[in-house]
Amino acid sequence: MFKSLISTTLALTALTLGLPGQAPVQAQSRTIVATAVAAGSFNTLAKALEAADLVKTLEGAGPFTVFAPTDEAFAKLPAGTIEALLQDKQKLAQVLTYHVVPGKVTASQVKPGNIKTVQGQSLNVRAEGGAVTVDNARVIKTDVMASNGVIHVIDSVVLPQ
């Protein structure tokens, strides 16, 4: 499945760049998953979504808001954490859905306070000194638009309680 995701993404990237005689496809025509894979810095997230059987969900109509940890964010986890999560599909799904909020919430719509996740618990959003954090993760890029929602890039993996 992951290989087919990469093939699909490469095809979409070729379309986005524009083939001779064709108009380029806008980035917003990609789903959240395809947008994340095309970015190249969410390989661990893509692998985890596949392992948790969440790819189809996040390729669905949505809309969704995803606070997406980068590969570097996953690398900050203690040794063996990623491997253990990949072996425990239920726990992995709980962690991943904790990063997803129902609806399309852009940066201008995010307000300090608690925001309920698909997982059921709430993320704590804070804005201090120009920096926005979600739980203990710093938002490093906002409003990466996708056809079925929006991605906000975070520098750490947030874990449900």
Classify residue 160: in a domain, yes or no: no
Three-state DSSP class for residue 2 = helix
Classify residue 96: in a domain, yes or no: yes
pLDDT at 4 over 60: no
Classify residue 21: in a domain, yes or no: no
Classify residue 14: in a domain, yes or no: no
pLDDT at 26 over 70: no
Q: Which domain holds residue 73?
A: 31-154
pLDDT for 52-88, tens place per residue? 999 999 898 889 999 999 999 999 999 999 999 999 9
- What is the structure's pLDDT at 70? 95
How far apart are the C-alpha atoms of 21 and 18, rounded to whole Å?
8
Percent of the chain at pLDDT > 90 equals 65
**Domain count along the chain:** 1
Classify residue 16: in a domain, yes or no: no
- What is the structure's pLDDT at 25? 36
Classify residue 159: in a domain, yes or no: no
pLDDT at 18 over 60: no
What pTM, to 2 d.p., does this model score?
Answer: 0.81
CATH number at 86 reads 2.30.180.10
Q: Are 58 and 31 contacting, i.e. CB atoms less than 8 angstroms apart? A: yes
